[in-house]
A and B are shown apart, each in its own frame.
Chain A
């Protein structure tokens, strides 16, 4: 049966279902059990499962990460939540020195079923310490899986997979997506890692986008369609592992590609993807790959500067026109996703 639910609800359902199915699953972190319930994603969980399985903690990210490691190697399945990915950076020692390599160093005699949820995305003038993405950094580390769902269905299915996975998984959620509504089908269950999702089929140009940039890419596709241009939009969904077969297949068909990453481009996931596509599609490409991402600066606070920092559908449209050798289309009267209309403060 198909149902329409929000991304936030999808995450909540995944956690509730897995905690009901498996009593070793527990969720913890700073403010996890307060009344705001991590943007509503841990709603009803303390009531349903008790304070032993869902609890707020002291403010000590690195130790909380190592704590999760210890619980994981000793038989539990912890979910550690970070209200912003920026706070997770305080746990890089445990994440990169310990969690990622722990099983390896133990000669494979331990497993580390640990999920690390981290929230990214714009808010109310968040500036540069509440707005990063960092998935390239995590994906750079052998032993970490990195997941970045865009749709409610993916949020649910991939979180179920993350919780059932016997390895550490960094699960990155964009806060603007929490209100996104989409269909989930209860029969589907877990979604395997590594399989890109075709969000929209097209013929003229492939856009590979991550997280929120898929929303922008779909908007760009919708507008360009009116001008006779057909974009194919692919969401890798998992940054690591990355199986690029479907992406390569798409670019072999369209022979043009834009990578729109929800991150800085320099040394980032977009570079990894572009490099792979170049090696697999060399000679087939009709134009160089365009990469779109954040401006290479810290994120500024004031709205006009912030708008300059973040890429959007217009950047994708203009890049597509360049690759296709088109004149710029008239965008007046188009209704872009507007932050002002949908999001208010204070945070």
Chain B
């Protein structure tokens, strides 16, 4: 199988979708005692942006972090071990679903306080600039985060200091259950952000290749213009705000809306593209099987692993 961009993107998409399906299938067993903010529907953003960032890229995100973690690392052992709260997790069970990280591969962390990783990304980007590194720091955040002071402060500071940071707004139009129309006293965030010394890129595509290409342009702009880029990407949140279930019967949104978006589901769309690109069904199935096996092994390892000993509570507080 020739390793094309589209294949690499599909591998990430499928891994995220399948890992989250595995969470859904196992969540009722009450072994993963951590709040799940699922990435279902947003896979193309994590996959496209992370691939475009390359191996030197750095990223931070919100608590809706499964997609970013998996797109960045493509590993599932530490991932599931952390969700199961076991000693083999990246934080030995102290972080859980809302604070995933993979420092070694550039994922500097996730936070459960809305908008709180934006300033951290600006600081990380400042350090990269000072060190003369070509690394771009990206920060993923929701449309709720732009309501917060830290969003505006970070945007402003990044533009004043001209740091190589990529703001990635994952816009699902909802903060928990409250729509943007109840929260945003303006027409277009893109217009406002474009008044800053910052390049704005916007799309509501679910095509991961387009997101990848748009991100490459946003990164080029950071490098060329020496100021931040703002990448505004729309998506539809498939599941409830937190938890593994659908919630189309709650009254605040309709299944019809979901169906419209699902008709261009990023994972299915990319699979079709691979077929059009000349990969055959068996090849794709092979790739999917390998990922299925990887995930099964990781879940088994996580289930069998020990919890950290009680003294773990004291470790890692101070260097």
A residues sitting closer than 8 Å to B (CB atoms) are 26, 52, 57-58, 60, 62-76, 78, 93-94, 97-98, 102-113, 142-143, 166-167
Contact = CB atoms under 8 A, between A and B. Distances in A.
A105 B123 contact: no
A29 B184 CA distance: 30
B70 to A, nearest CB: 18
If over half of B's interface residues share one DSSP class (helix, strand or loop), that class is named, otherwise mixed; here it is: helix
Interface string B155-193: 011001000000000000000000000000000000000
B108 interface: yes
Nearest to A75: B127
A78 B153 CA distance: 18
Most chain-A Cβ atoms within 10 A of its Cβ — which of B89, B125, B126?
B126
A105 B97 CA distance: 11
Contacts of A166: 318-319
B94 A74 contact: no
Nearest to B160: A58
A179 B152 CA distance: 39
A72 B127 CA distance: 8
Contacts of B274: none
A97 B157 contact: no
Nearest to B112: A97
A105 B91 contact: yes
Contact of B119 (A67, A75, A103): A67
Contacts of A112: 319
A78 B126 CA distance: 11
Contact of A98 (B90, B111, B126): B111
A60 B157 contact: yes
B99 to A, nearest CB: 4
A138 B317 CA distance: 15
Given A73-B124, A109-B101, 19 more contacts: A63-B118, A63-B122, A66-B118, A66-B122, A70-B119, A70-B120, A70-B123, A70-B137, A71-B124, A74-B128, A74-B131, A93-B150, A103-B316, A105-B101, A106-B90, A108-B315, A110-B108, A110-B109, A143-B318
B119 A62 contact: yes
B149 interface: yes
Given A71-B126, A76-B130, A106-B95, A66 B116 contact: yes
A293 B15 CA distance: 59
B96 to A, nearest CB: 9
Interface string B115-155: 01111111111111011000001000000000001100110
A67 B122 contact: yes
Contacts of A167: 318-319
A112 B109 CA distance: 13
Contact of A66 (B92, B94, B119, B137): B119
Given A58-B153, A64-B157, A66-B118, A74 B123 contact: yes
Question: Which of A66, A110, A142, A143 has the most B CB atoms < 10 Å from its CB?
Answer: A66
A71 B157 CA distance: 13
Given A63-B150, A73-B108, A103-B318, A58 B120 contact: no
A65 B119 contact: yes
Given A65-B119, A66-B123, A106 B157 contact: no
23 contacts: A57-B157, A60-B153, A63-B118, A63-B150, A66-B122, A66-B150, A67-B157, A69-B123, A70-B122, A70-B124, A70-B137, A71-B124, A71-B126, A78-B123, A97-B116, A102-B109, A103-B316, A103-B317, A106-B91, A107-B89, A107-B94, A107-B101, A166-B318
Interface residues of B, number: 44
Contact of B109 (A57, A60, A106, A142): A106
B287 interface: no
A140 to B, nearest CB: 14
Nearest to B91: A107
Contacts of A73: 108-109, 120, 124
Contact of A105 (B99, B121, B127): B99
Nearest to A145: B318
Given A67-B157, A70-B124, A142-B317, A105 B118 contact: no
Contacts of A66: 116-120, 122-123, 150, 154
A239 B72 CA distance: 41
B130 A109 contact: no
Nearest to B135: A74
A105 B92 CA distance: 9
A68 B113 contact: no
Contacts of A57: 157, 160
Given A52-B130, A63-B153, A103-B319, A70 B121 contact: yes
B290 interface: no
A94 B113 CA distance: 9
A72 B160 CA distance: 20
Contact of B123 (A72, A104, A109, A142): A72
Interface in B71-98: 89-92, 94-95
Given A70-B124, A105-B101, A107-B92, A63 B119 contact: yes
Contacts of A68: 123
B108 A143 contact: no
Given A58-B156, A143-B318, A97 B111 contact: yes
B121 A62 contact: no
A127 B131 CA distance: 43
B123 A111 contact: no
